[in-house]
Amino acid sequence: IQTPQVRIVEVGPRDGLQNIREKVPTQTKLELIRRLRDAGLRTIELTSVVSPRAIPQLADCREVLGHSSVKALFQPDQAGLRFPVLVPNVKGLEIAVNHGVKEVAVFISATEGFSKANINCSVEQGIARAGEVAGLARKAGVAVRGYVSCIFRDPFDGPTPEAAVLRCVTSLLAAGCYEVSLGDTLGVGSPSNVHTLIQYLTSHGVPIDKLAGHFHDTYGQAVANVWEAYTCGMRVFDSSVGGLGGCPFAPGAKGNVASEDLVYMFHNAGISTGVDLAKLVETGEWISRQLSQSNSSRAGKALSIK
């Protein structure tokens, strides 16, 4: 088997579902994870352990993490695969660790407005809280991934200064995150913005192999943003099957870049992802039907009509 040249972090079961109002049955979530794994995704964010008042859709995180099919993913024979769970605080970390989770993701915002709305604290407090969670996780032998939201714009505060993003990235890396995913939460950035920000971060000492891209697709720029980041040397990208995704605290933002669209783009360029595109397309069609919504993946739709 060819080693993938880019790593895709499938966030469908977490980012993809978190903003859906109608309760998605736990069985459907488990089936989604199973199908994604079967399609060759090697990193899948399984759920989040957050306040059920903040994100009612993922209030069944304990059932998901406690199910035998998910527990099996935490066994040592799954080496090389990653199944992170998003946690906002020590409480979330403890619940995750008690369920056998081997990797968590902490998240902060580069901007005050979204930080307050999303995690009810200032940027400073968010950095401190994420640092504490990361430190405890590392002590428990749990790997930690980091997210920085609102890299280009905040829904309340407007444009984000690059220095604010740099501060968050360096804090998360210093806290022990093995990589930091740059979140365009509102999906407003374009390739020129991506280029400028990556140049800024790397020229200030952030290694490109510590960065991942997390692009929402509100303005239809997400695939182009991924390609731009790739040409800047980035090799890890977050995406959601069927282009699902969004955050209740970022009103109007659309889903993540669709995993099918990314895989299609990379495979056309001869860049391996390790993903079986046909199976992924099937999964995108299946989950769209389950959620009674149209498939937001352009490649997924095109390939499923063929």
Show which residues are catalytic. Answer: 247
Tokens of 289: 């039907």
The number of CA neighbours under 13 Å toward the Cβ of 227 is: 15
- Choose among Mg ion, ligand HMG, none what residue 106 binds, the Cβ cut-off being 5 to 8 Å by kind: none
- Which of 99, 103, 64, 97 shows the shortest CA–CA distance to 81? 103
Residue nearest to Mg ion (CB): 15
Question: Which C-beta is closer to ligand HMG: that of 41 or that of 250?
Answer: 250
Closer CB to ligand HMG, 154 or 261, in the complex: 154
DSSP assignments along 41-83, one per residue = -SEE---B---TTT-GGGTTHHHHHHSHHHHGGGSGGGTT-B-
75 binds, among Mg ion, ligand HMG, none (CB under 5 to 8 A by kind): none
Nearest to 107 by CA among 95, 117, 94, 97: 117
112 makes contact with Mg ion (CB under 5 A): no
Question: How far is Cα 224 from Cα 7, in angstroms, rounded to an integer?
Answer: 17
CB of 146 to ligand HMG, least distance (A): 10
Asked if 15 is part of the footprint of Mg ion (rule: CB under 5 A), the reply reads: yes
**Amino acid (1-letter code) at residue 126:** G
Closer residue to ligand HMG in complex, CB, 54/81: 54
Tell me how far, at minimum, the Cβ of 147 lies from ligand HMG, in Å.
4
Residue 91 interacting partner from Mg ion, ligand HMG, none (CB closer than 5 to 8 Å by kind): ligand HMG
Dmax (CA) of the chain = 51
Tokens of 227: 């390609």
**251's tokens:** 């009103």
Which CB sits closer to Mg ion, 15 or 179?
15
Among 167, 185, 107, 104, which residue's Cα sits nearest to residue 140? 104
Minimal distance, residue 204 CB to ligand HMG, in Å: 21
SS3 category, 249: coil
* Beta-strand pair 158-159/211-215: unpaired
Q: Does 285 bind Mg ion (CB under 5 A)?
A: no
Indicate which of ligand HMG, Mg ion, none lies near residue 51 (CB less than 5 to 8 Å, by partner kind): ligand HMG
C-beta of 46 vs 50, nearer to ligand HMG:
50
> In angstroms, what is the minimal distance from the CB of 216 to ligand HMG?
6
The CB-of-267 to Mg ion minimum distance in angstroms stands at: 24
111-120 b/e (C-beta count within 10 Å ≥ 16 → b): bbbbbbbbbe
Q: Which of Mg ion, ligand HMG, none binds 215 (CB below 5-8 Å, type-dependent)? A: none
Nearer to Mg ion among residue 15 and residue 285 (C-beta): 15
In the block, which residue shows the tokens 């690059």? Answer: 162
Q: Write out the H or E segment, with its range, that includes residue 162.
A: helix 162-174
The CA distance from 269 to 285, in Å, is 24
Look at residue 149 and give the partner it binds from Mg ion, ligand HMG, none, a contact being a CB closer than 5 to 8 Å depending on partner kind: ligand HMG
The minimum distance between CB 25 and ligand HMG, in angstroms, equals: 20
- The residue ranges that bind ligand HMG (CB under 6 A) are 15, 18, 48-51, 53-55, 88-89, 91-92, 107, 118-120, 147, 149, 183, 185, 214, 216, 247
Residues in contact with Mg ion by the rule CB under 5 A? 15
